[in-house]
Structure 1
Amino acid sequence: MEKDGKKLTKWELCRVVKELRKFKRHKQALEVYDWMNNREERFRLSASDAAIQLDLIAKVRGVSAAEDFFLRVPETVKDRRIYGALLNAYVRARMREKAESMIDNIRNKSFATHALPFNVMMTLYMNLKEYDKVDMMISEMMEKNIRLDIYSYNIWLSSRGSQGSVERMEQVFEQMKLDKTINPNWTTFSTMATMYIKMGQLEKAEDCLRRVESRITGRDRIPYHYLLSLYGNVGNREEVYRVWNIYKSNFPNIPNLGYHAIISSLVRMGDIEGAEKIYEEWLPTRTSYDPRIGNLLMGWYVKEGNLDKAESIFDHMAEAGGKPNSSTWEILADGHVREKRISEVLSCFKEAFLAEGSKRWKPKPVIVSSFFKLCEEEADMSSKGVLEGWLRQSGYLEDENYASLVGLSSELSNEKDSTGNINDNEENEILLNQFQGSL
């Protein structure tokens, strides 16, 4: 790290860590700390450094490595930040019992005097869909005179909206407006817009989206991605194109995420010509081929019964140096199910299970059950057994609800497979991402 006899200062190294974390290069950031830890005589690491290190260890080496690190930190250095970092690690891993025990620890040590630990717990309850617990956290903050910050209000709004109550969500917004320390931000209005869309109140949703736009500051691209997605959910094609043109005029380079947001919206609204045109526009500008963008068009073609067109996008993806992900293979599998080609379906699923990042993918129940039905119709039970074996091996059948959805359990479920729309946790993601950035 040091060359030509130049000694790096701790301040310089911490600035490098900050930059690396900003770009989610957690492994490299942790290596900088490891390097400093091996030179204890030169670098005295503070409580704040310990908290950052713990956060990085949890992301790179897992929660149990973070717990070991926590135990090794001297008691004199353990302040609210390191307790907060471990709490955050538990919440990210959705370890509910450990998180609840840690927040009790934080209360006992009198570290629960500000909004952050409560916000972290509320994001956990949001992800677990335990909305009453979010209300309990808010009540505790109010009883203890702990000031709600913008994140507290945004999570509370999201929680109330997720319970399907427009009135109760609007009550929170009224309360927020009365709090002179709070200035509602774009996340506030995109959260409310998402909820209004779910509840079918499209006019109110569009009003919130106009407010999102009026609150975009500086060089922040993320609000544009939400605007493109949410106007697509409302079904307002003109607004999708208008926002896209403003976005392009404000930023010379649009990242893959921006292209994904607009193409996804246009596909959802059935404007496939527009989506194809923007896909063509993206190809020469991209720095890397993001398979999720090709998947959007492939998914549309398969649903329309045009497997050839989907396969031509697939071939193009490979030529352009793109690596098909599990969902890419699954879309092709879906196309082959529709064409009743059992062996092709199996070879696509095999590739899907082997693809990089497949651990984060779960086969769509609707496609799996269609394949099983096809195997039964064609009396090909051995092929059904092969896919069932892969599902079992990957642990998916341990989830009873999932097993019942694919027809491998006697339990019936009314849950339907949702595809194409903003995913269920997207509003939580906005909150979590904004908020993890503040930690």
Structure 2
Amino acid sequence: MWALRRASIALRSRGFSIGTSRACCAKLEIPSSCIEDDKAGILESPQETYDRCVYLKRFYHTKHGSSKFSVGRCGFSSQAGAKSSGEDDDLEDEFSELETPSSAQAKQTSNVADESDGELISEPELSDEDVDVEEPSQNELELSDAETDPIEKKSSRRRAQSELFNAIMASPGLSIHSALDKWVEEGNNVSRPEILLAMLNLRKRRMYGRALQLSEWLEAKKHIDFIERDYASRLDLIAKVRGLQKAENYVDKIPKSFRGELIYRTLLANCVVSNNLKKSEDVFNKMKDLEFPITTFSCNQLLLLYKRIDKKKIADVLLLMEKENVKPTLFTYKILIDTKGQSNDITGMDQIVETMKAEGIEPDTNTLAILAKHYASGGLTEKAEAILKELEGDNLKDRWTCRLLLPLYAQLGKADDVRRIWKICESNPRQEECMAAIDAWGKLKKVEEAEAVFDMMLKSVKRVSSKPYSVLLKVYANQKMLTKGKDLVKQMADSGCRIGPLTWDALVKLYVEAGEVEKADSILHKAAQQNQMRPLFSSYIAIMDQYAKKGDIHNSEKMFHRMRQAGYVSRLRQFQTLLQAYINAKVPAYGIRDRMKADNIFPNKGLAAQLAQVDAFRRTAVSDLLD
């Protein structure tokens, strides 16, 4: 652990200066511009430093120093139904931002994540960058069958659906209670394994509204005696469907005897998913006050949060882990490797890999893909190619690896390798592989090849979700093919796919790239008003960036306000764009420092330079002479 923390000292000494790169949305294939531009060190006053560190100071004044603790399996997992990879004894991957191959395989073997699902509630923020590799994405907290016995687990994986799930799916309208009552009246038994399987299927399809109704019905009808895992499941669903505040209120209603670590860990994970820094730190400190052990899972959640919002604090978390003898896991190393890679600190990234191997932890497929991505971005083509060859092996059979290789070869500009890998999948393509191929051909600016893959997928895949449409739409946006983009959206609507946040995001960027910012703004505004689903962070930022470039303060402030209305917590990225609008308009931004302080935003060097430019009372050499 000391070697690991020492590897981060350079980051800490320069204010954890990380360059922008974003890698959060891998899972959903749509880029998001939620990037923190931390290219330089941090400039802050002593008072600001004190205010900002008040939470972390509490980390070190613990009432217990026990490092002997066990991490039980909880009822949530982004790897639900997946085969155990042997690396998930801790819960770091269960609310993870970096998907393991096993979680991805679970997604490949089930028809999930369609925006057409009626109960779909949009994720808080689905991405941070153009995704080739599954780096920090905000995964689902899926109900796992991990607590059933091995025989039952194998049986559950073979069954794609349950009878209870089928009854729920057949229920018309928004409420499923009457359908559930009828199902019981027909003599069906409400057993815990049946409930777990139904919940698993609902969560895989992100039908959180119906999953929450099922949970409420079970408790109201007293079909099962609730245990802590059931309360944690309800808490997670409330956070997803009704928001964090409602989830916090629900915690107080849970009987004290069941209000254990799992409850607060679930709340912490949802706070992190929402990028809510203050609430996340409050929950972590609450867990300390309640004398729950400091677990790898909780520390990894903080690492994920600080990676996006306050990278300087990563070193503090590592110090805490060392102090409490909390061992880093493969997932911990993935976060740190990707963070170093985003800063283009390839040497530091390699040092963390060496430390990881010295601890007896070997990089998995996803970790190697992350390394290859950053080597390619850093211009180290030979090192990237070497890793890709290692991923392929002598005989490429793993289809999940194909899904990773396609965009990575495209990033290196290797069209022949993209074509070679695609031929392995072409005879029996899966939707995820098709999307990877469409994205890869788009990166290579080979639109016709991307369209050919899309057309093949429409013919071969039984049920096409809205995501492939969004991926092709992104290709059209990058190539500024507005007419083709419009036609694709019409085709999507005619096919019966529901247009949701992913499609809105691609459509917004299509119009933005075509120079029709006002049209993009109008589309996003109507989408937000007419649907329950929340638009992506990147959709707002894409429009706000364009207004800022024009020096349009009114519309930049309008987008800033809309993001707040949509529930997005203010962060550096928004203030950077807003300040740029004032700079381009050559107008002072009165009260902007107070606004940032109220939102608990502390400037890095780049933001401090922007603030100086919009300070109405700044002194210059000319003003001094005139005075």
TM-score interval, normalised by the smaller of the two chains: 0.7 to 0.9
Deviations 1:169-208 (A, max 9, x none): 111111111223x342112112222222332222222223
Structure 1 equivalent of residue 347 of structure 2: 167
**Cα distance, 1:367–1:83 mapped onto 2, change above 3 Å:** closer
Structure 2 equivalent of residue 240 of structure 1: 418
After alignment, is 139-148 or 86-95 more displaced? 139-148
After alignment, is 282-291 or 202-211 more displaced? 282-291
Task: Write the distance in 1 (CA, Å) between the matches of 2:218 and 2:396.
Answer: 37
CA drift at 1:410:
3.9
**Cα distance, 1:396–1:296 mapped onto 2, change above 3 Å:** same
SS at match of 2:457: helix
**Cα distance, 1:90–1:165 mapped onto 2, change above 3 Å:** same
CA drift at 1:4:
1.4
Within a 5 Å distance, the mapping from 1:326-345 to structure 2 comes to: 326-327=504-505, 329-330=507-508, 333-334=511-512, 337=515
Q: Could you state the TM-score of these two structures normalised by the residue count of structure 1?
A: 0.76
Deviations 1:339-380 (A, max 9, x none): xxx8xx64564234213556322262598359959xxxxxxx
Q: Which has the higher contact order (CA 8 A, sep 6+)?
A: 2
Does structure 2 conserve the Cα–Cα contact (< 8 Å) formed by 1:47 and 1:78? yes
Task: Write the distance in 2 (CA, Å) between the matches of 1:34 and 1:216.
Answer: 50
Structure 2 equivalent of residue 203 of structure 1: 382
Does structure 1 conserve the Cα–Cα contact (< 8 Å) formed by 2:306 and 2:313? yes
Structure 2 equivalent of residue 178 of structure 1: 358
SS at match of 1:394: helix
**Cα distance, 1:233–1:386 mapped onto 2, change above 3 Å:** same
Structure 2 equivalent of residue 35 of structure 1: 217
Does structure 2 conserve the Cα–Cα contact (< 8 Å) formed by 1:91 and 1:124? yes
Task: Write the distance in 1 (CA, Å) between the matches of 2:588 and 2:406.
Answer: 39
Task: Write the distance in 1 (CA, Å) between the matches of 2:491 and 2:195.
Answer: 43
Structure 2 equivalent of residue 117 of structure 1: 298
Give the root-mean-square deviation of aligned CA atoms: 3.6
**Alignment gaps of 5+ in structure 1:** 374-383, 416-439
Structure 1 equivalent of residue 576 of structure 2: 401
Deviations 1:88-139 (A, max 9, x none): 11111111122112222323434234311111111111121x3332232223
Does structure 2 conserve the Cα–Cα contact (< 8 Å) formed by 1:326 and 1:353? no
SS at match of 2:229: helix
| Letter in structure 2 aligned against 1:296 | K
Deviations 1:382-415 (A, max 9, x none): xx89967964663589944223455567479999
CA drift at 1:25:
2.5
CA drift at 1:245:
2.4
Does structure 2 conserve the Cα–Cα contact (< 8 Å) formed by 1:259 and 1:293? no
Deviations 1:251-277 (A, max 9, x none): x3411x433322222122122332232
Within a 5 Å distance, the mapping from 1:248-397 to structure 2 comes to: 248=426, 252-255=428-431, 257-286=432-461, 287-288=463-464, 290=466, 291-302=469-480, 307-321=482-496, 325-327=503-505, 329-330=507-508, 333-334=511-512, 337=515, 346-347=518-519, 349-355=521-527, 357=533, 359-360=535-536, 361-362=539-540, 364-365=542-543, 368-369=546-547, 391=559, 394-395=562-563
Does structure 2 conserve the Cα–Cα contact (< 8 Å) formed by 1:122 and 1:134? yes
Structure 2 equivalent of residue 25 of structure 1: 207
Q: Which runs of 4+ in 1 moved over 6 A?
A: 215-220, 384-390, 411-415
CA drift at 1:284:
2.6
After alignment, is 259-268 or 212-221 more displaced? 212-221
| Letter in structure 2 aligned against 1:107 | K
Q: Once the two structures are aligned, what percentage of the paired residues are identical?
A: 21
| Letter in structure 2 aligned against 1:84 | R
| Letter in structure 2 aligned against 1:235 | G
**Cα distance, 1:192–1:335 mapped onto 2, change above 3 Å:** closer
Task: Write the distance in 2 (CA, Å) between the matches of 1:164 and 1:147.
Answer: 26
Task: Write the distance in 2 (CA, Å) between the matches of 1:259 and 1:50.
Answer: 38
Task: Write the distance in 2 (CA, Å) between the matches of 1:216 and 1:362.
Answer: 44
Task: Write the distance in 2 (CA, Å) between the matches of 1:44 and 1:104.
Answer: 30
Task: Write the distance in 2 (CA, Å) between the matches of 1:49 and 1:215.
Answer: 46
Task: Write the distance in 2 (CA, Å) between the matches of 1:392 and 1:107.
Answer: 35
CA drift at 1:24:
2.6
Structure 2 equivalent of residue 381 of structure 1: none
| Letter in structure 2 aligned against 1:238 | D
Task: Write the distance in 2 (CA, Å) between the matches of 1:392 and 1:141.
Answer: 37
**Cα distance, 1:6–1:314 mapped onto 2, change above 3 Å:** closer
**Cα distance, 1:247–1:363 mapped onto 2, change above 3 Å:** same
| Letter in structure 1 aligned against 2:255 | P
Task: Write the distance in 2 (CA, Å) between the matches of 1:318 and 1:34.
Answer: 34
SS at match of 1:283: helix
**Cα distance, 1:67–1:123 mapped onto 2, change above 3 Å:** same
CA drift at 1:282:
2.7
Q: Could you state the TM-score of these two structures normalised by the residue count of structure 2?
A: 0.55
| Letter in structure 2 aligned against 1:394 | R
After alignment, is 286-295 or 310-319 more displaced? 310-319
Task: Write the distance in 1 (CA, Å) between the matches of 2:340 and 2:479.
Answer: 38
CA drift at 1:230:
2.2
**Cα distance, 1:111–1:231 mapped onto 2, change above 3 Å:** farther
Of residues 401, 404, 408, the one that matches 1:230 is 408
CA drift at 1:85:
0.6
More helix by share: 1
Q: Give the count of matched residue pairs.
A: 389
**Cα distance, 1:25–1:336 mapped onto 2, change above 3 Å:** closer
